[in-house]
């Protein structure tokens, strides 16, 4: 599934769980995406303000800055950084959780656990790697 066109797609994975970050990274690396990681919204914000990303994948519940606060802050920014697609993946499965994420500016919401092929497919759709 990997191809050279996808290698240029830069994805930031934001989750306080090292196991989740490693799982997402392994799946996306195998599919040919370039992946960086952050452990919370503050670290993620520092990264998105210093380099361009094609997609941010993040959890809702994280220390220091949660995913909803991060997305709201991202969307309140200026320029291209404010329009970076955001894929929220969380154990929070209620309809209000999904509505809150969408209201904050998430482009898509998935519920953990997410299978590798489902993760890669959604990342591909959100980044345009899969038409």
The pLDDT score that the predictor gives to residue 8 is 78
- In order of 57, 65, 106, 114, 124, the CA distances from 39 in angstroms are 12, 10, 18, 19, 23
The pLDDT score that the predictor gives to residue 5 is 44
User: Tens digit of pLDDT for each residue in 21-53?
Assistant: 999 999 999 999 999 999 999 999 999 999 999
CATH numbers and ranges of domains, the chain: 4-126 (3.40.50.2300)
Is the pLDDT assigned to residue 131 strictly greater than 80? no
User: Tens digit of pLDDT for each residue in 61-115?
Assistant: 999 999 999 999 999 998 899 999 999 999 999 999 999 999 999 999 999 999 9
């Amino acid at each position: 599934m990997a191809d050279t066109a996808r290698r240029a797609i830069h994805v930031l994975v934001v989750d306080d769980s090292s196991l989740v970050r490693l799982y997402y990274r392994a799946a996306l690396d195998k599919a040919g995406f370039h992946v960086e990681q952050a452990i919370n919204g503050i670290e993620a914000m520092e990264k998105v303000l210093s380099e361009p990303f094609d997609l941010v994948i993040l959890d809702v519940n994280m220390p220091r800055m949660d995913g909803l606060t991060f997305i709201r802050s991202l969307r309140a920014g200026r320029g291209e950084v404010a329009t970076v697609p955001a894929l929220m993946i969380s154990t929070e499965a209620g309809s209000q959780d999904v509505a809150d994420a969408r209201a904050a500016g998430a482009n898509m919401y998935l519920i953990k656990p997410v299978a590798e092929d489902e993760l890669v497919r959604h990342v591909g759709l959100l980044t345009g790697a899969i038409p």
